[in-house]
Structure formats: C-alpha cells, structure tokens
C-alpha cells in the first residue's frame, strides 16, 4: 500500500463541517473553503533529509526487513533509542505528526494530524529556516537506497531526483505553510 500525504488548509471554523465528509478534500475541485496540496511521495525523502528521527526510523525498518532474525533484544534496544529521540518540528510539518488529532475525521486506513493556526505559524517558521544547503548536506545516496527512501534509485539518479523532484516539493510545502500562517489557517495533514 502506498501512502500519500495531503496537506489541507482551512479556516478553523470549517473543521467541523469537514468531519462528516473528510473525503471532500479529494473532490475535484475541492470545496471553496479548502486548499489541498500534495507533494506526491517526495515527503518521504524530505522527512528523511530533515529529521534525524526519520533517518533512524528508516534504518530500523530497513534492518527489520533485511534481517528477519534480528535478535529481539537488539531490536528492542533500537526501538528504545527511537522512542528517546525528539520528533523535531520539520518532520512534524512534513509528515503531519501532530499531537492533536480530530477523531471525527476518519480516512479509513489513513490518519489525519491537525495543526491549529498558532502551531501552523511555528511550523512555517521552521520550514522557512530549513535550507536547501542543509538538506543537501544530509544527502547520502548509498544509505538512502539501503534504507529504501522513496522514490529510490538514489545512487543512479540521486542528484536529478533531489533537484527536480524533492526540492520543488519542498518549495511548494514551504509556500503552503507560509500562506496558511499568513492567513491564520489551520492545517490538516491526511495520510491515505
């Protein structure tokens, strides 16, 4: 199953209207009071580049897949290390990892994180501070392939993927959060 991350901006007063029909965000065009954007699967590479936690999670998951006989005590230690790591604002914004959820919004097997306007402003500031140079400094095409960072083929096409796929998605996401913050919007990040 392939998960896509959708970013939805809306004025907070419209959140209750979305609860009975969350799939309205997928209508073409979306309802007038919503702005919906997605960055395809580029969110995975962005999160990996922006977050030490995401890099550690990816390494953990890749090892679980590669080594089905990974000793339980080692795997448990890895999980404990992940649990001790800070989430970080950039990965919260990119992946919608919100402590606040709207249980009434149900995307079936997906999930939705909710950021109220004041949190959107903080996330926008974080995204604006994150630079291409910082993301580029974390590029490690061999490790990205080893950790199955989507879209893959990093060793063969990494520079092109970074410049033509990841960075344009990053720019759209930064502008999305900046616009939402300037407008006093809430943001829902939906995984479906």
The predicted-structure confidence for 2-41, as pLDDT tens digits, reads as follows: 456 789 898 888 888 777 777 777 777 777 778 889 898 8
User: Residue 13: its pLDDT value, please?
Assistant: 87
Split at pLDDT 50, 70, 90, the class of 114 is: confident
In a domain, 168, yes or no: no
Residue 49 lies in a domain: no
69 belongs to a structural domain: no
Asked, for residue 141, whether it belongs to a domain, the answer is no
Q: What pLDDT does 3 receive?
A: 59
Q: Calculate the alpha carbon distances from 58 to 10, 74, 108 in Å.
A: 32, 16, 24
Instruction: Confirm whether 83 is domain-assigned.
Output: no
Q: In terms of residue numbers, what domain contains 177?
A: 11-41+99-127+173-192
pLDDT the model gives residue 111: 62
The total of structural domains in the chain comes to: 1
Q: Is the pLDDT of residue 103 over 70?
A: no
The pTM of this model reads 0.88
- 132 within some domain: no
Residue 86, domain member (yes or no): no
Residue 92 lies in a domain: no
d(CA 50, CA 44): 10
pLDDT at 164 over 90: yes
């Amino acid at each position: 199953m392939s998960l896509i991350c959708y970013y939805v901006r809306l004025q907070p007063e419209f959140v209750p209207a979305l609860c009975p029909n969350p799939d309205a965000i997928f209508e073409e065009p979306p309802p007038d009071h919503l702005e919906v954007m997605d960055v395809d699967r580029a969110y995975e590479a962005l999160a990996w580049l922006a977050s030490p936690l995401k890099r550690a999670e990816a390494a953990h998951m890749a090892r679980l897949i590669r080594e089905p006989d990974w000793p339980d005590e080692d795997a448990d230690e890895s999980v404990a290390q992940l649990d001790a790591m800070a989430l970080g604002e950039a990965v919260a914004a990119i992946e919608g990892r919100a402590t606040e959820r709207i249980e009434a919004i149900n995307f079936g097997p997906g999930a939705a994180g909710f950021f109220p306007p004041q949190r959107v402003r903080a996330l926008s500031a974080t995204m604006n501070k994150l630079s291409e140079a910082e993301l580029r400094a974390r590029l490690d095409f061999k490790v990205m392939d080893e950790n199955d960072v989507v879209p893959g083929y990093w060793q063969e096409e990494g520079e092109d993927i970074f410049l033509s796929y990841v960075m344009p998605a990053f720019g759209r996401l930064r502008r999305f959060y900046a616009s939402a913050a300037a407008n006093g919007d809430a943001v829902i990040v939906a995984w479906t």
